[in-house]
Amino acid sequence: MFDSLKDKLGSFREDVEETTEEKAETEADDDGAGTDGAGAGASDAESASDASESSGDEGSSGGGFAAKAKSFAKGEIVIEEQDLKDPLWELEMALLESDVEMSVAQEILDSIREDLVGATRSFSSETADVVEQALADSLLKVISVGQFDFDQRIAEADKPVTIIFTGVNGVGKTTTIAKLSKYLEDRGYSTVMANGDTYRAGANEQIREHADNLGTELIAHEQGGDPAAVIYDAVEYADSNDVDVVLGDTAGRLHTDEGLMDQLEKIDRVVGPDMTLFVDEAVAGQDAVQRAKQFDEAAEIDGAVLTKADADSQGGAAISIAHVTGKPILFLGVGQGYDHIEAFDPEELVDRLLGDGE
């Protein structure tokens, strides 16, 4: 999962490390050329330290030289913006090639630049650790926007909790509902499914198969019925039978489908769902990011679920959606089975991308 992006982030670390190693060698060579031996080199280092202290006393105009001189005297090198120019350009291209949305890529680059420019490291130590920390911080900042604990919210909410699923056709909404039904049942919650997709022929049969496989109750009306009425009936059923969570399917739609968007507004008005989750495919990349943004603007969402994450080598949607919408990714679909769904953890994703996770 996200292997291509992982490789590209690793390349950035290597590029910065190589650049700073070359700089360290160059400065060491320059220093050696001006001395007659180790003793003179040590003397020069002391002079550099004295000069740096003197420059620092004179005012801020000497601060840049003072910092570099003092660091060099201690066997350190200062990472400057010019050292990052080429690696950051390569990283920007890599992020965009991985379908990371442009404003998100820029946010990541700005954060890395802010963390690394002026950072010091020892000549004898690895640069990778400071670069990796800057990458981790910048990625986490954009990925974790709006994040909340789904399990905690379900636990603390008045029952029944009503969750509506929306998105375009063919992205796996109905299968995601089945997976979340299993996820919730495994955590001790009872669920009922509601087929609010009264528009599509065969929708009842599809969701009924999942309900039968899981032993879950399904509330459905005939094709062409009122979706809000179906989900309302499911909420009434849940209330009467002490069911904890209502999972409501809706017809696949584009944000420009006015009639179908009106249905969502009616569901919101009649049922007042506790959460509306946007579902799309991770492999859709920037298309998924833009659709999430458009759906959030047209019918406010509370979070997103990305299906087919196991087949996505790029990771652009996972990196971008939360930052663009201000709403978190809550789950990743990672296979065909009912158990193949993972609660989304931004820190775990960053670990995966930087090579610390499986």
Q: Give the domain ranges of the chain.
A: 3-143, 150-345
Say which CATH architecture domain 3-143 belongs to: Up-down Bundle (1.20)
Q: What is the pLDDT of residue 122?
A: 44
CA distance 226 to 231: 9
CATH topology of domain 150-345: Rossmann fold (3.40.50)
Q: What is the pLDDT of residue 40?
A: 44
Q: What is the pLDDT of residue 312?
A: 81
Looking up tokens 């179906």 gives 230
Tell me the average confidence (pLDDT) per consecutive run of 10 residues in the chain, 358 residues long.
Answer: 78 73 59 49 45 44 43 53 81 88 91 77 54 86 93 96 92 95 97 90 89 95 87 96 96 74 86 94 90 86 93 85 93 94 92 70
Q: What is the pLDDT of residue 114?
A: 85
**Residue 293 CB contacts under 8 Å (≥ 6 apart), including other chains:** 324, 325
Within its chain, how far is the Cα of 349 from the centroid? 7
**Residue 294 CB contacts under 8 Å (≥ 6 apart), including other chains:** 255
43, 90 in Cβ contact below 8 A? no
Q: What is the pLDDT of residue 76?
A: 54
Q: What is the pLDDT of residue 115?
A: 81
Q: What is the pLDDT of residue 356?
A: 52
Q: What is the pLDDT of residue 278?
A: 94
Name the β-bridge partners of 78: 120
**Residue 258 CB contacts under 8 Å (≥ 6 apart), including other chains:** none
CA distance 305 to 235: 22
Helices (H), the chain: 3-33, 38-58, 63-73, 81-97, 102-116, 128-143, 150-156, 173-186, 203-214, 227-240, 258-271, 286-298, 316-325, 346-353
Q: What is the pLDDT of residue 321?
A: 92
Strand order across the 217-219 sheet: 217-219, 191-196, 245-250, 161-166, 275-281, 303-307, 329-333, 341-343
CA distance 272 to 276: 10
Please state the length of the chain: 358
Exposed/middle/buried for 44, CB within 10 Å: 0-12, 13-18, 19+? Answer: middle
pTM over the 0.75 mark: yes
Of 269, 237, 270, give the one whose Cα is nearest residue 159.
Answer: 237
